[in-house]
A = this chain, B = another copy of it.
Amino acid sequence: MKAFVYQAVGKKALEERPKPKISAPTDAIVKIVKTTICGTDLRILKGDVPTCQPGRVLGHEGVGIIDEVGSAVAAYKAGDRVLISCISACGKCVYCRKLMYSHCTTGGWILGNTIDGTQAEFVRIPYADTSLYPILTGADEDALVMLSDILPTGFECGVLNGKIQPGGTVAIVGAGPIGLAALLTSQFYSPSEIIMIDLDSNRLDVAKRFGATDCVNSDDGKAVDKILKMTGGRGVDTVIEAVGIPATFELCEKLVAPGGRIANIGVHGVKVDLHLENLWDRNITIATRLVDASSTPMLLNLLRVGKIEPKLLITHHFPLTHILEAYETFAEAARTHALKVIIEA
């Protein structure tokens, strides 16, 4: 089968690989229908994710059709259409039994990381019963691909950790795909303001269309002043970090109101300065999270009734044979205005 492989730092290719096989009774083999590329895949290609070694088939998102199941898989059979979660959950370990699937002792984020992933014609899914979701006939599968990772991540790490409340204020630092996913799912809780902050005017225009009530371009260094002014000097109840660098995290520290929350989504490569000399008495919380994808059933419900439009995030489509072009388009988002790209296998 065809599979997209991380060959070495900066080196990648669509290779011919053997079709994966069932290796545990809880496994399923899924024929990929659609997949996508995540910002994390770009970080792997740069060599920034040490758990993912060269030779790996990338990809942890997608929808597909069950090809074969192991003897202990009860919920699926060959031919079923399924959504693949980016998180594999055994359903039994101490973390799974707290719904903290991200830290499953034998699962978590392993697809396209420590085992081969979804940017291929077929993928082996461990713990199929607790890591796949059935797709209703007629569902929009482009939209569903957005429920593998980006929407649960924006929702769980940003919205839930940020404890957004009706009538509260929200600021999201970073209007890339993940910040926009947080923006879309923030609206489930009816905040009164959602302020989007970025350096790229194009992305802020997109944010406006996605429901941001205010947009602030931070390139003039005045974002803090502007936002404090907007909030009567109080700051913002929920600040979501959706970039992953020190400067943006420290911006969040300056924006958060007394009693407020900073919810971190960004993948950080280095430490940040935490200004406890200012924050120790501000009654704030800072929360981090690797997505557990425990919210996927809820998101499927809201998608079914049309209360969320994940397709807003999709800007490009490519066949699997053109995945290198898809990567290029996704990586050069400032030029291509790409958000999420769909790859059809």
Residue of B nearest to A108 (CB): B281
- With A297-B94, A302-B166 as known contacts, state yes or no: A269 contacts B277, CB within 8 Å: yes
* Shortest Cβ gap from A71 to chain B (Å): 7
- Specify which chain B residues have a CB less than 8 angstroms from the CB of A281 in the assembled complex: 102, 267, 288-290
Q: Is A100 an interface residue (CB 8 A)?
A: yes
- Specify which chain B residues have a CB less than 8 angstroms from the CB of A304 in the assembled complex: 192
Q: When the two chains form the complex, which single residue of B97, B166, B258, B305 contacts A192, counting CB atoms closer than 8 Å? A: B305
Q: Is A23 an interface residue (CB 8 A)?
A: no
- Specify which chain B residues have a CB less than 8 angstroms from the CB of A279 in the assembled complex: 288
- Specify which chain B residues have a CB less than 8 angstroms from the CB of A299 in the assembled complex: 167
- Specify which chain B residues have a CB less than 8 angstroms from the CB of A297 in the assembled complex: 94, 97, 167
Interface string of A244-276 (1 = CB under 8 A from B): 100001000000001100001011111111111
Q: When the two chains form the complex, which single residue of B271, B277, B282, B288 contacts A270, counting CB atoms closer than 8 Å? A: B277
Residue of B nearest to A261 (CB): B285
Q: Is A217 an interface residue (CB 8 A)?
A: no
Interface residues on A, range: 35 or more
- Indicate if the CB atoms of B290 and A103 lie closer than 8 Å: no
* Shortest Cβ gap from A168 to chain B (Å): 8
- Indicate if the CB atoms of A25 and B267 lie closer than 8 Å: no
Query: Can you give 12 contacting A-B residue pairs, CB < 8 Å?
Result: A92-B129, A98-B259, A166-B298, A168-B298, A189-B190, A190-B190, A192-B305, A264-B280, A271-B274, A272-B274, A285-B286, A285-B287
Q: Which residues of A line the B interface, CB within 8 A?
A: 25-26, 71-72, 74-75, 91-92, 94-100, 102-103, 129-130, 161, 165-168, 187-190, 192-193, 213, 244, 249, 258-259, 264, 266-277, 279-290, 292, 294, 297-299, 301-302, 304-305, 307
Given contacts A189-B189, A283-B290, 15 further A-B contacts (CB under 8 A): A25-B72, A91-B130, A92-B129, A95-B259, A97-B297, A99-B99, A103-B258, A167-B302, A188-B190, A213-B305, A264-B276, A271-B277, A273-B274, A280-B288, A281-B289
